[in-house]
DNA sequence: TATATTCACGAAACCGTTTTCGTTACAACG
DNA sequence: CGTTGTAACGAAAACGGTTTCGTGAATATA
């Protein structure tokens, strides 16, 4: 912090500290003339008020926390852009916390948020997160309930505002699209049984199978993990089994590469031998080989809306309806990985 | 902030505030017995010290700022992971600021850092950033020089620690690889003439041409912008001109997609008709059509090293050698986009 | 025994703002 | 003329920690 503080300003102007403070905040108590003098000198000396002194006194930090499992994912990186966008507009600062998909880290991070460091929290839970006590503790703090908004990866059984996509419907549509393309043995690559969005997507998947009179069997849902090597093996096992599927839906972006790689290695052609859809915001989907049909979420907008919701909750302190639930539609972008074309290469 | 503060603790324990504070910080002044009592109650009441009160008094925020132009770029997202990794280890908090490639935002953000909010700054400059006064102002603040470390996109003419890659050499190597593959008319797609790394890469490119007795002409370096539509048009113009190049080097990841798309649209086959290399950390490079030869930076490690350097500077306050310059090697990963194979598809 | 030292803790200043609550001077008002 | 009101500012108490300095008791030293 620079040596010039409000005290130095006051001394130079021969005013009291309080007067300077009020002048800078354009208080009605201060004459126009004095305000001008104060502001002029403040600008000349490049005065920058200490944010922590202010936070301490006002019990307001103008800072929010963004708690996410990962940043190298096109959904999250786009969502962060949306969040930053409205945060900058609102004059808020953004603390970024990565949980690296670890529940313990998430717990610790949230715990550290309970001391006034942030005015609110935006989060997408870890794939390991099962219980919600660490979250509900924040909300039910008798003295200081801290506003929290889920985006994308929300938790059930807890009364929290959230911004998500229509996971059931979009998964249903993706599945239907595969069925329409001729698939009869579709495998859904699941992220984590703990994730609500994952389960909604599985539900949509199963419902589509049901409505098309296709049986859902054990092997139709495969649980992937956070271990890339394990996932690769699992996918390899599925795609080289006797009962090889003719359609794949990946519930998360990081499963795209292993599917493509395994297909390439095993000589399985997409889409003639197997069709593939992934939930993903990857801007490179159009230039993959073949281009990838995706369920694409409006990530940027989701970030914006979640942040907007949070700021509303912060400002209205308590009066906010906790059950607000914004659902934005994802779009099925059809490309060649589910196309009907034969083997061209 | 929760209602339990250090005062409440002190009252409950029948101790003075100062004693409780010292006990929690494991001061030698406090008896083991008292420390135990204090810590036990603190844990029981879930006491969480107010960070801003502490920051105010200690003039230390335990927070750093990460100022970058963009997050939806695989280099930056990986670098952030590295930064978060060591920040969490060191007990620091990370404020994320996106400049959206806008110089004005960068300036404003840095200005806001000059009030004690952060103990240090990690940054990659905007493609618009020309002068360095907004940066040198931070460093030469008579009273409070705030440590800053560049990573990747550094600025010249200013004495700042930095972590970069061997841009000249890797660009040289990439160019040489294209020449070895038979290219004689290579175009370098430049990010921004303002960026130091970009100019180093161009220099390496030109040097390679020179050493191979190839002339560098005007059209061999094409300036792209931050406008996607403009870039697309420019690339389209280049690839459909009479003097169509037989090799392309893209200086930044975001130019990959337009090159592929234009080639596809114009029916130009990679690599038989044109060969393509991009600077990029894209994990999807192997599954593009064709797989993309890349110059890949050790992004995660760069984030780690930059953060480590910054923390060292923060701790040693002043005694740090400002000219420390860590250069990590990028690697040329050869894939099919520069391969010799003919048209197979 | 007188003095020095160590131990364990309390009192209070301090960090830089914000905000409440005076206080003064002056105008308005009956 | 006494009262009220208002405009413009100052004094001081917060906010919740940290840190310096003091202080009394116990122990060691001469």
Looking at chain B, the whole-number percentage of residues with pLDDT higher than 90 is 86
Q: Of B138, B81, B80, B128, which Cα lies nearest the Cα of B104?
A: B128
Q: How confident is the model at residue B317 (pLDDT cuts 50, 70, 90)?
A: low
Q: Of A83, A103, A104, which Cα lies nearest the Cα of A95?
A: A83
Rounded CA-CA distance B220/B238 in Å is 10
| Average pLDDT along chain B | 93
CB A274 within 8 A of CB A68: no
pLDDT of res. B345:
39
Least confident of B95-99, B195-199, B269-273, B321-325: B321-325
Rounded CA-CA distance B249/B170 in Å is 12
Rounded CA-CA distance B301/B15 in Å is 47
Q: How confident is the model at residue A344 (pLDDT cuts 50, 70, 90)?
A: very low
Task: Using a CB–CB cutoff of 8 Å, tell me whether A182 touches chain B.
Answer: no
| A135, A188, B171, B224 from B190: Cα distances, Å | 47, 42, 12, 6
The arithmetic mean of pLDDT across residues A131-156, rounded, is: 88
CB B275 within 8 A of CB B247: yes
Strands B120-123 and B63-68: parallel
Residues of chain A contacting residue B59, judged by C-beta atoms under 8 Å apart:
1
The CB density around residue A11, as the number of other CB atoms within 10 Å, is 12
Token duo for residue A184: 């009869």
Residues 6+ apart with CB under 8 A from A242: none
Looking at chain A, the whole-number percentage of residues with pLDDT higher than 90 is 86
Q: Does residue B343 register a pLDDT over 50? A: no
Rounded CA-CA distance A88/A65 in Å is 14
pLDDT of res. B139:
84
Residues 6+ apart with CB under 8 A from A48: A1, A2, B111, B112, B114, B115
pLDDT of res. B340:
61
User: Which residue matches tokens 């659902």?
Assistant: A327
Rounded CA-CA distance B97/B99 in Å is 6
pLDDT of res. A343:
39
pLDDT of res. B3:
77
Rounded CA-CA distance A258/B284 in Å is 10
Q: CA of A265: which chain B residue's CA is closest?
A: B287
pLDDT of res. B2:
55
pLDDT of res. A320:
54
Tell me which DSSP letter residue B269 carries. Answer: P
pLDDT of res. B106:
97
The arithmetic mean of pLDDT across residues A96-117, rounded, is: 96
Q: CA of A63: which chain B residue's CA is closest?
A: B95
Separation of CA A262 from chain center = 29
pLDDT of res. B138:
84
How far is B322 from chain A, CA to nearest CA, in Å? 20
Half-sphere CA count of A284, side-chain side, radius 13 A: 27
Rounded CA-CA distance A241/B312 in Å is 53
pLDDT of res. A317:
65
Higher pLDDT, A342 or B303: B303
Domains, in order of start, for chain A: 6-49 (no CATH), 61-165+299-329 (3.40.50.2300), 167-297+332-338 (3.40.50.2300)
Q: Does residue A287 register a pLDDT over 90? A: yes
CA of A29 to C1' of D5 (A): 15
CB B303 within 8 A of CB B85: yes
Q: Of B336, B333, B340, which Cα lies nearest the Cα of B170?
A: B333
Q: Which nucleotide, over all strands, has the C1' atom closest to the CA of B59?
A: C15
pLDDT of res. A144:
78
Q: What is the 3-state secondary structure (H, E, C) of A37-80?
A: HHHHHHHHCCCCCCHHHHHHHHCCCCEEEEEECCCCCHHHHHHH
**Burial B175-197, CB ≥16 within 10 A → b, else e:** bbbbbebebeebbbbbbbebbbb
Token duo for residue A286: 């159009």
pLDDT of res. A342:
42
**Which residues are paired to B275 by β-bridges?**
B247
Tell me which DSSP letter residue A157 carries. Answer: S
DSSP A195-262: -HHHHHHHHHHHHHHHHTT----GGGEEE--S-HHHHHHHHHHHHTSTT--SEEEESSGGGHHHHHHH
**Strand D close to A56 by CB, under 7 A:** yes
Q: Of B222, B242, B243, which Cα lies nearest the Cα of B233?
A: B222
Q: Which positions on strand C lie below 7 Å from a protein C-beta?
A: 7-21
Residue pLDDT, tens place only, A6-54: 999 999 999 999 999 999 999 999 999 999 999 999 999 999 999 999 9
**Strand C close to A45 by CB, under 7 A:** no
Q: CA of B48: which chain A residue's CA is closest?
A: A115
| Average pLDDT along chain A | 93
CB contact under 8 A, B50 and A78: no
Among B2, B94, B290, whose Cβ lies nearest the Cβ of A96?
Answer: B94
pLDDT of res. A316:
83
Q: Does residue B295 register a pLDDT over 70? A: yes
Closest residue to D12 (CA, C1′): A18
Note which residues in 106-145 of chain B have CB less than 8 A from chain A.
111-112, 114-117, 141-144
């Amino acid at each position: 912090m620079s040596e010039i503080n409000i005290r130095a300003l006051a001394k130079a102007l021969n005013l009291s500290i309080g007067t300077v403070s009020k002048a800078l905040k354009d208080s009605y108590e201060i004459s126009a003339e004095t305000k001008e003098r104060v502001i002029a000198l403040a600008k000349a000396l490049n005065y920058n008020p200490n944010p922590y002194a202010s936070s301490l006194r006002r019990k307001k930090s103008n800072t929010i926390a963004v708690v996410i499992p990962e940043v190298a994912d096109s959904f999250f990186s786009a969502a962060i852009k949306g969040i930053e966008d409205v945060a900058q507009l609102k004059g808020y600062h953004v603390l970024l916390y990565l949980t690296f998909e670890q529940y313990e880290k998430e717990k610790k991070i949230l715990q550290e948020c309970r001391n006034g460091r942030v005015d609110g929290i935006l989060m997408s839970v870890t794939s390991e997160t099962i219980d919600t006590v660490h979250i509900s503790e924040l909300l039910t703090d008798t003295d200081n309930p801290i506003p929290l908004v889920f985006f994308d990866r929300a938790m059930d059984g807890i009364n929290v505002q959230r911004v998500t996509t229509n996971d059931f419907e979009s998964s249903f549509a993706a599945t239907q699209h595969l069925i329409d393309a001729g698939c009869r043995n579709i495998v859904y690559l699941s992220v984590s049984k703990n994730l609500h969005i994952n389960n909604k997507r599985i539900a949509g998947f199963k419902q589509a199978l049901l409505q098309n009179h296709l049986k859902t069997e054990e092997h139709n849902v495969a649980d992937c993990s956070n271990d890339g090597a394990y996932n690769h093996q699992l996918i390899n096992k599925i795609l080289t089994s006797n009962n090889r599927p003719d359609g794949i839906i990946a519930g998360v972006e990081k499963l795209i590469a292993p599917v493509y790689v395994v297909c390439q290695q095993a000589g399985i052609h997409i889409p003639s031998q197997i069709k593939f859809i992934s939930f993903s915001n990857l801007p490179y989907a159009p230039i993959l080989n073949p281009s990838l049909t995706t369920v694409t979420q409006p990530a940027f907008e989701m970030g914006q809306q979640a942040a907007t919701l949070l700021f509303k909750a912060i400002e209205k302190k308590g009066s906010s309806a906790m059950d607000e639930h914004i659902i934005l539609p994802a779009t099925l972008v059809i490309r060649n990985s589910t196309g009907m074309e034969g083997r061209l290469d």
